[in-house]
Each structure stands twice: as C-alpha cells, then as structure tokens.
C-alpha cells in the first residue's frame, strides 16, 4: 500500500510564512486553550462543534507528542489490510480543518479515519452519540513534556522556548498548545470502560507493538492474519517510520521524529521538577484506572 502523506507543498508554504511572523502571533487562545495559528483559526473550532460523525468512523485521539503520527500510520495499514480503506491518506486534526474542508470530509466514503489532539470536552459530541470507535493514545507525562519541548523548539511554525525550565513551567500550568496534559488524561477516566473507547499507551506500544496492534485490530473488528499483523508491526516501528519520514512528511519529518524512546525525561528533569510532576500525578490520577494504565511507578520513577 502507498503511505499516507501530508501536503508537503502546503507545509513548506506555512513554514515560509512563519519566518515573517512575530513569535506571539504564532499561537492564538480560544476558550482558554492555545492553538497554532498557522494551522487553525477560531472558526475551525467553532465549525467542528457541529461535525456529524458516523458510526463507522475511526477517531484517533492523542495529546501532542503521545504517538499521533505513529498511530495514523498503523490505523491506515490496518484499515487497508482489512479491506476497509482503498486509498490511505494522511488525516489532519479536526481542529486544523476549516469549514470548507469539513464539508469535503462529509463527502468522503467510509471508512473515515479522523484525528484530534483535543480533550473530551472539545471533541464533537456526535462521536459519542453515534458511538464511533475512538482510539486514545496516552504517554507518561514526563516523556511527553520532553518530547513536546523539543517539538516546540524544532518547529519553525511555533515560538521557541529559550530554556527547558521555562517550558516546564508552562507545561505544568497548561499554557502550551491544547492545554493541560493532566486535564486531558483525567477526562478519559469517564470513558475507560466504554465499549466504543479503547485506550492504549505509548509505552505498551513500544514494549510489544505486535500484540498491541493485534488488540487494536480486534477492537475495530478487523480480521487479519498473524502474518499481516506482524508485517504491519515491522513496518510501524519508530526506526522504520523515521527512515521513511522524508517520503511521508518531507522536511517536516525531522520535526516530528526525534528519539521515540521511553525514559528520556531523566536527561532533562531536575529532582524538583520530577517531584512536582509526581505530586500532580498523585493529585489527579493516583488510584484511577487511567493512572494504573500509565504504569507511572515503572516509567516515571
């Protein structure tokens, strides 16, 4: 199958435009949440509130730097191998889709694979009303912070941070794009036992990609052979995807793919910062099913 690709020309034009913009103009705040202004506008977010989901839609949800681009590739391969998708395409975030493009989405044949970074409060309610299949990818908060920091500083379309400490402070206060990591994670506790929501973690995907892909296929009711699952897993490792990033993302691939590991937070966090995240986790997620899913004691201690 061909790989889903972003519109490289469109991205290059966006990056060129960013060179002439002030850092403070690269983001805008809407209903208390920061969004990238070169990708989205308030009218986009207004428009998706009334977006009509379908029962057979697949919605991928991930807070930034928790595995969105990774899983877009996996879902395309699964749907294609199962005969549900004829022409794999890179699916942009709903919040990047202007009203005109949203109308185009409504004309696409099923199966539609859609995605977002937004939390449950901002996802169009029709996905829950229609009981569309939702796949949520979570990642431990410490590695998420580190990956997000580097993403900000490698992406010309975003204002860079002059220090890790400054970024960490804003990450903890939710003054980064798409708001607070902890708000995002906490809100999924309500849906963790829903038949139409499957929650996986970045760390489990790294540890046993083949088994996780098999479970995702089962969740979507896709019948694939063990050989097909194994092939998808081999083609979807971080190294394999990074190697093809020039083909799928153009020069932007260098921004998206960095290390893709687990535990890099230890190279950035001070003891005080680590304890601050520990305390926030204890306050927000300790004792919850989401907290248990994240295996915090394993990955963040």
What are the pLDDT digits (tens) for 181-219?
A: 999 999 999 999 999 999 999 999 999 999 999 999 999
Residue 3 lies in a domain: no
- pLDDT band at 256, cuts 50/70/90? low
What does pLDDT average to over the chain?
A: 90
202 inside domain: yes
Least confident of 12-16, 25-29, 206-210: 12-16
- Considering the domain boundaries, does residue 185 fall inside one? yes
Tens digits of residue pLDDT in 148-188: 999 999 888 899 999 999 999 999 999 999 999 999 999 99
Q: Which residue has the higher pLDDT, 255 or 140?
A: 140
In a domain, 1, yes or no: no
> Torsion angle, CA of 36/37/38/41, rounded to 10 degrees?
110
Rounded to the nearest 10°, the torsion over CA 129, 177, 172, 155 is 140
- Cα dihedral 11, 16, 19, 22, rounded to 10, equals -60
Helix axes 271-284, 141-154, angle to 10 degrees: 120
pTM > 0.85: yes or no: yes
Q: What is the dihedral of CA 117, 291, 296, 127, to 10 degrees?
A: -20
**Structural domain span for residue 123:** 8-299
Q: What angle do CA 148, 18, 37 make, to 5 degrees?
A: 65
Domain at 24, CATH number: 3.40.50.300
- Are 294 and 140 within 8 A, CB to CB? yes
Catalytic (active-site) positions: 117
Q: Output 210 or 18, whichever has higher pLDDT.
A: 210
Q: Rounded distance, CA 191 to CA 44, Å? A: 26
Examine residue 260 and state whether it is found in any structural domain, yes or no: yes
195 is written with which tokens?
């038949």
Domain-embedded: residue 274:
yes
Is 2 part of a structural domain of the chain?
A: no
Structural domain count of the chain: 1
């Amino acid at each position: 199958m061909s790989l889903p690709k972003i519109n490289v020309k469109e991205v290059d034009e966006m990056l060129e435009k960013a060179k002439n913009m002030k850092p403070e103009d690269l983001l805008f705040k809407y209903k208390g949440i920061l969004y990238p202004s070169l990708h989205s506008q308030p009218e986009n977010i207004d428009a998706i509130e009334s977006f009509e989901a379908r029962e057979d839609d697949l919605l991928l949800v991930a807070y930034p730097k928790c595995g969105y681009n990774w899983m877009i590739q996996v879902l395309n391969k699964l749907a294609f191998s199962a005969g549900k998708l004829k022409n794999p395409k890179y699916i942009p975030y709903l919040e990047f889709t202007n009203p005109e493009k949203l109308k185009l989405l409504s004309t696409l044949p099923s199966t539609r694979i859609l995605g977002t970074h937004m939390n449950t409060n901002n996802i169009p309610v029709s996905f829950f009303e229609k009981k569309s299949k939702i796949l949520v990818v979570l990642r431990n908060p410490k590695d998420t912070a580190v990956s997000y920091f580097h993403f900000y500083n490698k992406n010309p379309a975003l204002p860079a941070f002059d220090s890790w400490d400054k970024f960490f402070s804003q990450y903890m206060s939710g003054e980064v794009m798409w708001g607070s990591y902890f708000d995002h994670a906490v809100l999924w506790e309500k849906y963790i036992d829903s038949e139409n929501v499957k929650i996986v973690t970045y760390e489990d995907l790294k540890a046993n990609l083949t088994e996780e892909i098999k479970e995702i296929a089962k969740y979507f009711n896709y019948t694939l052979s063990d050989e097909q699952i194994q092939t998808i897993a081999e083609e979807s490792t971080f190294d394999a995807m990074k190697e093809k990033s020039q083909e799928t993302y153009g020069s932007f691939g260098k921004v998206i793919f960095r290390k893709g590991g687990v535990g890099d937070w230890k190279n950035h966090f001070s003891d005080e910062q680590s304890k601050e995240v520990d305390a926030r986790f204890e306050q927000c997620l300790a004792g919850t099913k989401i907290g248990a899913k994240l295996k915090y004691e394993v990955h963040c201690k």
